[in-house]
Amino acid sequence: MLIREQVPLAPLTTLGVGGPARYFIEACTEDEVLEAVGFAHARQLPLFVLGGGSNLVVADSGFPGVVLKVGIVDVSQAAAPDGEVIFDAGAGVDWDALVAKTVEAGCAGLECLSGIPGTVGGTPVQNVGAYGQEVAETIREVRVLDLRSLETTTLTNAECRFSYRSSLFNATGRGRGRYIILRVSFALRHGGKPTIRYAELQEFLGHHPAEPALAEVRAAVREIRHRKGMLIVLGDDDAHSAGSFFKNPIVPMSVFTELAARLEARGWQLPSYPAGDGFRKLPAAWLVEHAGFPKGYIKGAAGISPRHALAIINRGDATAADILVLKDEIQERVKDKFGIELQLEPVFVGF
């Protein structure tokens, strides 16, 4: 196991900002993960687990402890007695490569999550979702190293407490920082139909003559993402982001009704979606744009993607401080104008 020092983190993230890791270790087996944890504990250094770096903002000063990249990359596939197929993948497996494999095997359940950057181990953390699917719908178990007991254990889907962009692994005061994800298993439907419930996907596939195959839905999702700069493609500068920077706010019905009425008086129709009993989900993109931040907005070396209202991008040589200035400005103006506090989606490292 190679232990490196002062390793720049910016190139290991999609946003491309931030300083170095004091120590950097890539662990390719469960034993190596434990060894790396031992290294950090022995020196009383903080530990940060890095996946594909696609949901991170790293501080300009870097991370003063051990950055551990889980490089467990094997995948197995087995038929379950109930007709499902179980894909069991190491945390370090590239997420989109796993999705491609499941689609090629004719298994439904992950096709709408095509093209999301990052690793398998990163997906349960914020219960990644897109175009009508979330990983919570198909995750069967998550194998973890519990940093309290230093034992490996397997968590069931229910134990992961998934909800919108949240789980045991990122919820404040619960399991945050307690577990290192080693493997994730997904239960998929062999021969199952693709999920086409998201309006934009339905529209894209609208002229499709027959019922689209899984591979066609995967291709459609990747194309939609590409058009929005949400697919990591070499040379696409708009993809230098951490994905959506803000979560879609979920507000009590009373807050929604009051705000919608106030905006209607100004001639604005506030869009919203159902979010469970007594709640509505508001599109953060609408709030950001109507607070005066159009797509393509520029603030020094940072900006908003010309193709996606929620993606703060690094326009070339931005620092983490540049990104934060723009983020603060957006949050403040949305709060002033609509009374809504936008919650952040990326993880902030070393701040």
Ligand X SMILES: Cc1cc2nc3c(=O)[nH]c(=O)nc-3n(C[C@H](O)[C@H](O)[C@H](O)COP(=O)(O)OP(=O)(O)OC[C@H]3O[C@@H](n4cnc5c(N)ncnc54)[C@H](O)[C@@H]3O)c2cc1C
Active site amino acids: 165, 244, 345
Instruction: Go through the chain and tell me how many residues it has.
Output: 351
Residue 316 to residue 240: CA distance in whole angstroms:
9
Contact indicator for 98, 52 with CB cutoff of 8 Å: no
Per-residue x/- track, 66-85, ligand X (CB under 6 A): ----x---------------
Q: Is 91 in the site for ligand X (CB under 6 A)?
A: yes
Characterize the bridge pairing of strands 63-70 and 20-27. parallel
Q: Which two tokens stand for residue 254?
A: 């009373």
For ligand X, which stretch binds (CB under 6 A), given 19-27, 103-111, 194-202, 236-244? 236-244
Cα(120)–Cα(104) distance, rounded to whole angstroms?
Answer: 17
Rg over CA atoms, the chain: 21
- Shortest spacing between CB 257 and ligand X, in angstroms: 29
Contact 102, 139 (CB under 8 A): no
Total residues binding ligand X (CB under 6 A): 34
Q: Which is nearer to ligand X, 126 or 270 (CB)?
A: 126
Of the two residues 26 and 289, which places its CB atom closer to ligand X in the complex? 26
Contact 184, 109 (CB under 8 A): no
CA distance 186 to 180: 18
**Among 59, 85, 100, 125, contact with ligand X (rule: CB under 6 A):** 125
Q: Which of 21, 239, 301, 320 binds ligand X (CB under 6 A)?
A: 239
Tokens representing 294 are: 């159009």
The single residue among 27, 242, 310, 342 that binds ligand X, judged by CB under 6 A, is 242
Q: Which amino acid is at 276?
A: G
Q: Does 175 bind ligand X (CB under 6 A)?
A: no
Residue (27 or 85) nearer to ligand X, CB: 27
Residue found by looking up tokens 């493997």 in the block: 183
Given phi > 0 = left and psi -120 to 50 = alpha, else beta, which region is 63?
Answer: beta
Site string for ligand X, 263-302 (x = CB under 6 A): ----------------------------------------
Tokens of residue 210, six digits: 């027959």
Question: Could you tell me the smallest distance in angstroms from the CB atom of residue 254 to ligand X?
Answer: 28
| Rounded Cα–Cα distance for residues 238 and 176 (Å) | 30
Cα angle for residues 255, 256, 262 (degrees, 5° grid)? 90
Q: Binding residue for ligand X (CB under 6 A) from 66, 160, 180, 201? A: 180
Per rule CB under 6 A, is residue 350 in the interface with ligand X? no
Q: Which residue, 173 or 267, has its beta carbon nearer to ligand X? A: 173
Site string for ligand X, 25-54 (x = CB under 6 A): -----------------------xxxxxxx
Task: Please give the residues from 134 up to 153 whose contact with ligand X meets the rule CB under 6 A.
Answer: none
Considering only 119-127, 153-161, 215-223, 259-267, which stretch makes contact with ligand X by CB under 6 A? Answer: 119-127
Residue 214: closest CA among 195, 188, 186, 234: 195
d(CA 312, CA 319): 12
* Alpha carbon 273 to chain centroid, angstroms: 21
Task: Give the contact letters, 190-229, x = binds to ligand X (CB under 6 A), - = no.
Answer: ----------------------------------------
- Positions touching ligand X (CB under 6 A) are 14, 48-56, 70, 91, 116-119, 121-123, 125-126, 128-130, 169, 180-181, 230, 232, 239, 241-243, 347
